[in-house]
Amino acid sequence: MPVVHLLGTGAGVSGPERTTTMLAFESGGHSVVVDCGGDAVQRLLAAGVDPSGIEALIVTHEHPDHVSGFPLFMEKIWLLGRRHPLPVYGIRPALDQARRVWEAFDTGGWEGVPDIQWNEVRHQAGAPVLSSDRWRVTAAPGIHGVPVIGVRVEDARGAGVAAYSCDTAKSPEITELARGADLLVHEATGTTQGGHTTYVQAAEVARDAGARRLVLVHLPPGVTDHDLAEARTVFDDMLLGEDGARYEF
C-alpha cells in the first residue's frame, strides 16, 4: 500500500514538537517528497524512508518554510551517495526561489553533485506534475499570499488517492483536487489571515470533496484535539497531524 509520511506538520512558527510542513509519498521503497522548508532528509531518515529511493521533489511555493531547506536537501543526498539527477517540480516562482537559494552557495567543488532537472508545472487546475509506474500526480492552484499549488497523488496500480492542499484559503480548486480522495492532508493554520484555513473550513473541504479521512497540518502553536470540536460536527474522521506520523491510502 502507498503511504504518506508527515515529515513535518507545523506552520511557519509552531510548537517545539513540530517542524515545518513537509510530506513524502512512498511506495515500494520509492518516494516523492513535497517541500523542504526544514531538514527534509533528516526527517526522512527518522521516518525510516531511504533517501536513495527519492524519485522527485515537488516545491509548492516560494515561501521560506517550504523551500529554504533546498540546498541542505541537495547536500545531504549527495553526501549519502546520490549521483543521478534529481527531478524538481513546481510552478515557476517556486522553482525560481529554489534555484536562487541553491545558487547562493558555491558548490563548484562538490564532485559528482546530482544535476537538478527543473520541471515547471502549470498554475492551473488539473496540471500534470509527474507520471510513472508508481504515481500519477496532478496539481491545482490554491489561494495564498503568493502563487501556490496543492497536489493529488494517485497510486498508478489503483491502490488509493491522497491529496495535499498546501498553504491556502478555502479553495474550490483544492476541493476539486481532493474529490473522492482516500486521504486529504489539509492545512489548518487556524486563521484566514494571509491565505490560510480554519479547522472548520478544512472540514468543509473534506466533506464537500467526499474525502474518506482528513489529517490537518501547517498547525499553529498550542493546538489540541479540543480545538477540533466544532470542525468535527462538519466532518468527523479528522486528526491533528503529528511529525513522524504515516498513513496508508
Q: The C-alpha cell of 130 is what?
A: 509527474
The per-residue pLDDT for 71 is: 98
Q: How far is CA 246 from CA 65, 92, 233, in A?
A: 21, 30, 25
Tell me the CATH number at 201.
3.60.15.10
Low-confidence stretches of the chain (pLDDT < 70) are none
Smallest Cα–Cα separation from 177: which of 214, 216, 130, 209?
209
Domain span at residue 89 reads 3-248
* Beta-sheet pairing, 149-155 with 3-8: unpaired
| Model pTM score | 0.97
The per-residue pLDDT for 158 is: 87
In the chain, the number of structural domains is 1
3-state secondary structure at position 51:
helix
The per-residue pLDDT for 172 is: 98
Express each pLDDT in 214-227 by its tens digit: 999 999 999 999 99
Which amino acid does the sequence have at 116?
I
Mutual angle of helices 92-103 and 70-79, in 10-degree steps: 60
Q: DSSP H helical segments within 109-187, as ranges?
A: 172-177
Burial class (CB in 10 A: 0-12, 13-18, 19+), 106: exposed
Q: DSSP H helical segments within the chain, as ranges?
A: 40-46, 64-67, 70-79, 92-103, 172-177, 199-209, 229-232
CA distance 56 to 64: 19
